[in-house]
Amino acid sequence: MPDFSTISQDPTVRSLVQDGLLERAFHDALFPRMLFRGEAMPQLWPNNVGDSMVFTGVGLVAPKMRPLQPGSDPAPSTYQAEQWSATLQQYADSIDTHMPSSITAIANLFLRNAQQLGLSSGQSLNRMVRDRLFNAAGSGSTVADGAQNNVTTLRVKRLAGFTRARRPDLAAGSPVQFSTVSTNNPLKVLLGTALTANTVTGYSPDNPGDEVGPGTLTLSAGSPNLADRAAVLAVDRTSAVYVGGGNRTDDIGTTDLLTLAAIRTAVARFWQQNVPEMPDGRFHLHVDPTAQAQIFADDEFQRLLTSLPDYFMYKQFALGELLGTVVFRNSENPLPETVAPNDGVTFSLDDPFAGELYSNGSATTGVRIHRTLLVAQGSIYEYYQDLGALITEAGVTGKVGQSTINNNGIEVNTDRIQLIIRSPLNRLQDLVSTSWKFIGDWPVRTDATVGDAARYKRLVQILTGE
């Protein structure tokens, strides 16, 4: 049956009516909530201190419970220290607006371009924080890239957690800071199914300067016979929960779904390591929508809510506060759709996320990996520079300020991001450049001097399938 509008179908009448009228408005695009950057504790970078800064944490003095011998003095005690660092980096992007096009477009193109650029700035910095958090949460866990036997140069899928070591137990090792691995400062590792001990004494990245993507590890001794994608684990790797067991993404199957038991295990890990809760008194759990939906299929969760069909968890399809955590549904968790170049396999410096998004490293035969992240207080900091200090008495050609951006009613976090609108400088004075700029860094702190050997103790990721 053909569609008819309310206008008369008389040809003469229809020829007098404007058809296909273009609405003079731009509608907002679908946009995620920016949640990861909110976990970073903002700290102003002090002026005139250089472009890098080293932070020091201390361990504990070992408890002394043996009584002193009469007439003797106690032996002096010592404690360990550790350091992590931040380096100022500049992040920015621009968009140009041709003003003759703006004033003839369906709506103000200049304002829309500024809006889109602001959304990009918020999403860019949010994903930078996301990658830092997940790279630390997956630090020291990777797999061999191809079958290899009795080699001292081992190809691996990812270098994250294998390029630096802290060895206060060695005379020539790095006593405090996590320094580059070497023969004097080796990193202990475990290889293959048998977890054969070895040490890493060097590395060679595929991308110069990169310490998280694919590359080659130099071993102090020949490797055992390693199958393709055999486990390569650092002894100071970050603790992770693999639902269904194992220590590789390849051990995750389609039936290994997110459960309350997995969340309990992660929370218990924090408690055992004396990790502090967030200022709100809870840990924060970032879960993607698919993994959140999996919890509702968990037998324990269903038993918990038996006879409560009207409880908010079912009514709102939300978890809220659960097992000492506040659960955030976060659509920016790493998935093939949210990690460039969006194929789920290729590592890119444009989005340096170190984890693998499919088991077996294959988008066609592998299982999609979902990573749920439990975050504790003090896990990551945002050190930022006051960009107002860059403006001198000479002034600027244009306007500089902060921006508040809303999209579909969601306020996008653009704190500490500078918006720059440059006056038109071309000959016709009709091309306006709009830019955003941020100078800072996001260091993830270590806690290697207390508790077990894990380098990062304030993060735990739960790996599940689909």
Give per-residue pLDDT as tens, 142-184. Answer: 999 999 999 999 999 999 999 999 999 999 999 999 999 999 9
Q: Show the tokens assigned to 147.
A: 């079958």
Residue 368 scores a pLDDT above 70: yes
The pLDDT value recorded for residue 308 is: 73
User: Quick one: DSSP state of residue 311?
Assistant: S
Torsion of CA 258, 264, 266, 269, to 10 degrees: -160
- The amino acid occupying position 393 is E
Q: Of 7-21, 305-319, 406-420, where does mean pLDDT reach its minimum?
A: 7-21
Residue indicated by tokens 């035969």: 365
DSSP 3-state percent helix, strand, coil across the chain (nearest 5): 20, 30, 55
Q: In 3D, which of 107, 26, 454 has the Cα closest to residue 270?
A: 454
Helices assigned H by DSSP within 286-424: 289-295, 299-304, 312-315
Does the pLDDT at position 18 exceed 70?
no
Mean pLDDT of 180-206: 97
* End-to-end alpha carbon distance in the chain: 42
At residue 41, φ and ψ (nearest 5 deg) are -85, 115
Assign 172 to helix, strand or coil: coil
Residue ranges per domain, the chain? 31-53+81-139+238-466, 142-235
Average pLDDT over residues 301-306: 87
Is residue 238 within 8 A of residue 456, CB to CB? The reply is yes
How confident is the model over 249-292, as pLDDT tens digits? 999 999 999 999 999 999 999 999 999 999 999 999 999 999 99
- The pTM of this model reads 0.91
Residue 136, φ and ψ in degrees, nearest 5: -70, -40
* Per-residue model confidence as pLDDT tens digits over 57-112: 999 999 999 999 999 999 999 999 999 999 999 999 999 988 888 777 767 788 88
Measure the CA–CA gap between 363 and 336, rounded to whole angstroms. 9
CA 73 – CA 189 distance, rounded (Å): 41
- pLDDT of residue 37 exceeding 80: yes
Return d(Cα 249, Cα 368) in angstroms, integer: 10
Q: What is the percent of the chain where pLDDT is above 70?
A: 93
